[in-house]
Amino acid sequence: MGAVIDKNSVPAHVAIIMDGNGRWAKARGLPRTQGHLEGVKRVEEIIGAALDLGIKVLTLYTFSLENWTRPETEVSMLMRTIVSVLMDKMDNLSRNGVAFRVSGSREGVPPSVLEALDRAVERTGKNSRLILNIAFNYGGRQEILSAVRRISEEVRQGQLDPQGITEDIFSAHLFTAGLPDPDLLIRTSGEIRLSNFLLWQLSYSEFCFVEKCWPDFTGEDLKEAIRTYQVRERRFGAVGARKESLS
């Protein structure tokens, strides 16, 4: 048993890079696709743990722009799985107060997947207990470029003064517009890098790198990451700043 979690300082927004499905499968002599299926099962447990902890936003790095380069059979399986899971789990998620959101580009996504994602967003839009933000067809650099292009067009049309562009205005043009920046980033599988994930939003986040591959990551592991977070002092670039309360 770890230390007791202080419910008054739980991170409001937790982002997770769910890494290691393929390595988990390889270590067991299984196909990579089986690792992804096991990883999907883990998501439900982590959502439940996030609800219990009182986390307000949970962002999961589900499919990156770079993932399209994987074998076609693997990508096709992932797309089918996303649609299937949304159909099977959406009612239960909605009953538990989960609002579904998608951050990423729609370009190149199969229509059946877009339809399933849009239906999930619409169906759960009035829920407020937890925002489940799926980073899908997502890339951090591409997100920033997209924001720059949109802002440039507004400047060109005279809708925005270049001197008036603030961090808040820039953030409002990102895929995550309206969401608070993550307080805590968790990455599984022992890798220590961001992999083009939320490059703007993670500027002042706390990082927690976990050795376990995603299919082995449990609700208790999430709680342990929260405990680690709670003993850190968040300074946001200042010296001796007091740890903020996220209640």
3-state secondary structure the chain: CCCCCCHHHCCCEEEEECCCHHHHHHHCCCCHHHHHHHHHHHHHHHHHHHHHHCCCEEEEEEEEHHHHHCCHHHHHHHHHHHHHHHHHHHHHHHHCCEEEEEECCCCCCCHHHHHHHHHHHHHHCCCCCEEEEEEEEECHHHHHHHHHHHHHHHHHCCCCCHHHCCHHHHHCCCCCCCCCCCCEEEECCCCCCCCCCCCCCCCCCEEEECCCCHHHCCHHHHHHHHHHHHCCCCCCCCCCCCCCCCC
Task: Identify the active-site residue in 8, 21, 67, 183.
Answer: 67
Task: Identify the active-site residue in 19, 21, 133, 183.
Answer: 19
67 annotated active-site: yes
52 annotated active-site: no
Q: Hey, which residues are catalytic here? A: 19, 67
